[in-house]
Structure 1
Amino acid sequence: MRLFPLLACCLLLTLDAGAVDFTPAAASDDIDNPHKGYMLWGTTWAQGSADNYYGASIYHVYVPWREVETADQVFDWAGFEQRHLQPILADDPDATFVLRLVADYPDGVGSGLSYFYTGGQLERDYPLFLEQAPLNIPGTDYASCDGDGPGRTPAWNHPAFVSQAVQLVQALGQRYDGDARITAVQVGLLGLWGEWHQSGCDANAPGNAVKLAVREAYAGAFTRTRLQTRYARDPDVVNADFGFHEDYFPSFTANCIYGFPLCDASGDWNLEYGFANVVPAARGNWRFNPVSGESPLTSQQNSWTSDTDDVIAVLRNYHFSFLGPAGKHEQAGFGVPLARIKRALGYDLSVVRFSLSDPVSQGSSLAWRLELANRGSAPVYHAVQGKLELLDAGNTVRAMAPLALDLRGAEPGATTVYRGRLLWSGLTPGNYTVRLSIADAVAGRPGIVLQNTARDSAAAGVRLGMVVVGPVGDRLFADAFSE
C-alpha cells in the first residue's frame, strides 16, 4: 500500500520525520454538549414542562422514597421512570438526569412533589410501612422549619430507619449505577430536601451515625456514576470523593470578595469555608465528581447578568460543570451573558494536533498521538469512546479504528496528550477524509462535539484532512483542510 500526497491550495500540517500532523483550527461558538451547561427542573415535568431557552439537556429529578419503595424491599423503578423520566425523554431524547432521593420535602403538596401520591398524608414523602409494625419508625409533623413547611420528618436516627435507608440507597445503585442517562446522583435522602440538615427544626436533625451509614452506602453503591453532596462537611464527605451541589450560588460559594448578594463565608454552609477549615482534602474532589449549583433568589440570579465576569471567575475557580435548576437561565432575553457562562461550565475540548506515524505498510500497526485542549472549567466525568474514521468521496465510512481516551485526565486549562496504536487494512486505493470523533460509550447517547472549525455537519466529529491511499509503497502523506 502506498499513501500519496493530495495537492491542495494550502498545506496546514507539519510533516516531521516519522509522523504526519493534522492541526485543525479551534472554534469558540456556542455548542451543546452532554452532562454540562444548564440544568432544568424536571421533577414535575409531567405536570407541565419548563421553558428551555439556552440549550439545557440536564434535568433535576427528585426521587420520593414514597413512590419508589411500595413495600419493604419492593421497588417500582419502572413506574418512577414512566412518571418522571419518560415525559422528559419524549420532549428531549438526549436528556440526562441528576437524581436525588428525598424523604422530607417541605410543602411537597405546594411544589407538586406529591402529585402521584395516593392514600392521604400527602406531606409524608416516605412510605407508610416505615411507621408500621414491625419497623415502628416514628414520624413528626411540623408546620414550619424556619419558614419551610409543612412536612413530616421520619426519625432519622432510629436504628430501623438507618438499615432501611441503607437498603434503599443500595437498591438505587443497583438500578442506576453506570446508567448512561444519569449525569450524577446527589447524596440525598437525609434531612430537608435531602440536604442533610433540618434547619429550623434542629431537634429532628440526622446525626453522625446515620450520616456515616448512608454516606458509605452511596460510596459503595455507585462506583461508575458520579456522586454529589450538598456541603463540604464532616462526616458528609470525609473519605468519600463526592462532588458538590451548591444551592445558594454564588452567595455561599466563595469568600466574600466579589460583592455577591447575601454572601456569608463564616461557616461550613459556605463551600470555600468547608474546604479551608473542615475537609481540606475535598478541595480536589472536582477531579473525580462534578460540582454544580443553583440560585434560588432573584438577587442571586441577577448577579449572573450584572456581574458575569465574577460569576465566571467563581465557576472556573471551583470547577463547576452545570448550573440549575433555579437560575437566570429560566428567563429569556439574556443570550450574550448566559452564552458566556454556559461556555465556562464543564469541559470545552478542542483538537490541537493529531499525529499519525509514518512510514506505514498495509496491515501494520500505526501509532497515533492526540493533543487535546480543555478550555473549560472541569474534566469530562462520563465514559467516552474515541473514534478515527476514513471516509470516501461519497462520505461513506470505509475504515474505523477506536482510540482509547480517558477524558477524566483532561484537566481544565491544560493540553493533555493521548497515545495509542491502530490498524487499517484492506483499503481500496483512493482519496480518504480523516474524521475524529468522541462518542458516548453507550450507543445511541450523544457524543461530545469538539470545539474545532472543521466540524462535520452530519456527525459529531472533526474532519482533520485527507490522505491518498495508493496500491504499493511504505509512506503516509496527508493534507489538512484549508479554512
Structure 2
Amino acid sequence: MPMTRFPTIALFCAFVCAGCGTPHSAAHYTAISDGETVRVTMAEYDSAFRNPLKGFREYFMVGTDARRPEYPYPYGSLIKEYMQWNLLERNAADSVATVIAYSDHRWQGVEEQNVKVIPRVLLVWVEPWHGGWAKDPANRDDLNGWHWPEDLPGETGPYKQIPGSVGAYVEPQDSLTPISGGYFDPSFPDRVRNLVRKLGEAWDNDPRVAYVEMGIVGEWGEHHDPDLSTVFPPHDEPRHVAGRTWIPGMEKVLGDAFREAFRNKKVMVRYAYEFEDYDFGIYWDSWAQPQEMERGYNAMIRRGDYWRTQPVGGEITWNWGDLAKYRSFEAVVADDTTRHTVIEQIRNLHCNHLGGITWADFNDPVFARNAAELQKAMGYRFVLSDASYPCRIDRGEAFGMEFSLRNTGSSPFYYDWPVEVALLDVRTHAKVWGTVLDDVRLSQWMPGEDWDGTSYRIRPETVTVRARPLLGDDLPEGRYILALGILDPACGRPTVRFANTNYFTGGYHPLGYVGVGESESAPALDPADFDDLRSDTTLNYKP
C-alpha cells in the first residue's frame, strides 16, 4: 500500500506501576487510521516482570523449607526440583507410574501459580567424607544423605574427611584403591538407561516441566565427585584414578540415554567441555566465581552458539570461593562489580535463568532494584514496536495484518508456543474469537550478540510477522478490540507477555479497536485502561 499521511488519532499518557511504583511511559502508544488501515505504535514496559521459562529460578529444600502459599516472588516462574532416585524408582522392576506419582506429589499446585519445574535426579546430596549427613528418617522428602535404590548398593571406598575441613583425602596405601558399588557397580550403566527411559516417558510431554537437568552422577548430581571425564583434575586428589575419581564410559551412557528419552524437553548438563557430541544446554552452578572461569565461563564461550537452540542456566553460589565473603544473595548483587560481572556473563553466555534467590527479601527496595536489573537481562524479552490491520474486517473472510518486535533479552524462547490473534469484548476484555497464526516460530526470535558492556554490538533483528487470519463466520457485527497473545499449549491461554505497556489482565496485548462488518473510525485505546503486567496474578496453565 502506498504511504499516506494519516490524520492523527492518538492518545498519550504516563502511569505508575502498582506493583513497583515505577513510572511507565505510554507516550508512544498511538493508533492512527486513514479510513482503511490502522497503524499502531507501542511503548516498551520499562521494568522487569515475571514471564514463563526465564529469569530467576527458585529452589526449596523439600520437606524442610516451607513453600510459600502466596503467588511466587515477582520473578519466580521456575523452580528447581532435586528428585531422589529411590523415590522415583525403588528398584528396577518399578514402572513409570512410580515416577509420575512422586512427581505429582512434589509438583502439586505449580500450574495454578504459572510455575514450571526443572527436575534434576540425584543419588547423593553430600558424601560423608565431605561433611554430609544422613537423611532424616522422619522426613520422606529430605534431600540429605544417599538415595540409592534398594537393589543397587551404595558406595564403599577409601576416602576420609580431612579433620576440620570439607575436603577429603586417601591414605597412601590406598592410592589406587577403587570405589566399589554405587556408580561403579557393574549394573549401574543399565540401571541408568532403565531409569532415564522412564523419566522420558513421564516428563517429556509433561507441561509442568520446563527443562531437564541431567544430574544423577556426583554430589547434587553435578557431574563431579566422581567426574565424567579427565579434562580437569579431581577435587580431592592431584590426578584421576579410574574407578574412583571418574567413571570411564559414563558420559556416553548418559548422553545416549537422555538424547533418546527426551525428544521434546531441553536437556542441560553441568559442564560445557563434556557431551560435545550432543545437543544439550548447560547449567553452570558457579556464576561469577573466579575459581570457575576456565572450567565454566570460558568453556561455555568456546562451545559456540549452542545457546540458539539449548538453554543456559545455573545458579550464583555464594557459599564458597571469592563469593564466600557475602552472607546473602542480596549482598552479592548489591556489590556493583559483582552484579556487573553477572550481567556481563548473562549477556555473553545468553543466560536464560539463574537460581540463588529462594531466601532473598524482595521487600528490600535496594535488592528489588538490583534483582530487576538481572531479571531484565535474563532470558527473552519481546518488545512490540508497531502493528497494522484493517479498519474493517468481515465474517468468514481473511484479513491482512502485521506486527514487528525485537528480542532485547539474552536468550531465545526455546519452544514454539502458539501466537494468537484475538478479538476481545470492548467492555469486559474477554476473548470472543481467536486463531493461532500459522508459520510463526517463537524460537527464532533471537537476541543480539557480542555484548560491549552496555548493549549488543550486533543488535537484535526486527522480526516482522505478516499474517492473514480467517475470521469466523458466526461473530456478531460490531466493535471489538484486536489483540495478540502467546499461548501455553497446556491450556490454550496466554501466559507469555510482550514487554509492552498495552496490556490487559489475563495475558492479552490490545492493539486497538476494529470493526466487524463496519469500519472503525476511532481505533485508539485509552492507555489509562491498560493494566500493569507485573501486578497480574491471574495467569495459570491449568487445563
- Offset of residue 127 of structure 1: 1.0
- Offset of residue 434 of structure 1: 1.1
CA contact (8 A) 2:31 2:512 kept: no
Selected match of 1:147 from 134, 152, 166: 166
CA contact (8 A) 2:251 2:275 kept: no
Match of 1:254 in 2: none
Shift in CA distance, 365/66, structure 1 to aligned 2, threshold 3 Å? same
Match of 1:321 in 2: 352
Match of 1:433 in 2: 481
Shift in CA distance, 230/478, structure 1 to aligned 2, threshold 3 Å? farther
Match of 2:236 in 1: 200
Look up the equivalent residue of 2:445 and give its one-letter code: A
Selected match of 1:283 from 304, 307, 330: 304
Shift in CA distance, 342/432, structure 1 to aligned 2, threshold 3 Å? same
Match of 2:532 in 1: none
Q: Which has the higher contact order (CA 8 A, sep 6+)?
A: 1
Q: Distance in 1 between matches of 2:422 and 2:342?
A: 40
CA contact (8 A) 1:433 1:467 kept: yes
Shift in CA distance, 390/378, structure 1 to aligned 2, threshold 3 Å? same
Match of 2:26 in 1: none
- Offset of residue 318 of structure 1: 0.8
Deviation per residue, 1:103-143 (Å, 9 max, x gap): 2221587496876559xxx8332113023xxxxx8644754
- Offset of residue 295 of structure 1: 2.0
Deviation per residue, 1:54-106 (Å, 9 max, x gap): 432311111111211112130422442254222x639x632211111112221
Match of 1:124 in 2: 146
Match of 1:217 in 2: 257
Match of 1:273 in 2: 299
Shift in CA distance, 397/186, structure 1 to aligned 2, threshold 3 Å? closer
Q: Distance in 1 between matches of 2:498 and 2:377?
A: 15
- Higher mean displacement: 223-232 or 207-216: 207-216
Q: Distance in 1 between matches of 2:394 and 2:362?
A: 58
CA contact (8 A) 1:96 1:183 kept: yes
Selected match of 1:182 from 209, 212, 219: 209
Match of 1:98 in 2: 118
Match of 1:296 in 2: 317
Match of 1:258 in 2: none
Q: Distance in 2 between matches of 1:18 and 1:205?
A: 72
CA RMSD, Structure 1 to Structure 2 (Å) = 3.5
Superposition map of 1:157-168 within 5 A: 157-168=184-195
- Offset of residue 311 of structure 1: 2.1
CA contact (8 A) 2:122 2:220 kept: yes
Selected match of 1:49 from 64, 67, 80: 67
Deviation per residue, 1:223-242 (Å, 9 max, x gap): 11111111111xx3212121
Match of 1:451 in 2: 499
Shift in CA distance, 153/321, structure 1 to aligned 2, threshold 3 Å? farther
- Higher mean displacement: 403-412 or 217-226: 403-412
Look up the equivalent residue of 1:400 and give its one-letter code: G
- Offset of residue 443 of structure 1: 0.3
CA contact (8 A) 1:44 1:112 kept: no
Selected match of 1:239 from 248, 256, 277: 277
Specify every segment of 5 or more residues in structure 1 that has no aligned partner in the other structure, as ranges.
132-136, 252-261, 277-281
Specify every segment of 5 or more residues in structure 2 that has no aligned partner in the other structure, as ranges.
1-5, 12-28, 170-178, 226-234, 324-328, 449-459, 528-543
SS in 2 for 1:130: coil
Match of 1:255 in 2: none
Aligned pair 1:25/2:52, yes or no?
no
Match of 1:481 in 2: 525
Shift in CA distance, 359/82, structure 1 to aligned 2, threshold 3 Å? closer
Shift in CA distance, 263/155, structure 1 to aligned 2, threshold 3 Å? closer
Match of 1:467 in 2: 514
CA contact (8 A) 1:44 1:113 kept: no
Shift in CA distance, 117/467, structure 1 to aligned 2, threshold 3 Å? closer
Selected match of 2:334 from 297, 305, 323: 305
- Offset of residue 468 of structure 1: 2.2
Identity %: 22
Match of 2:442 in 1: 407
SS in 2 for 1:174: helix
Q: Distance in 2 between matches of 1:14 and 1:124?
A: 65
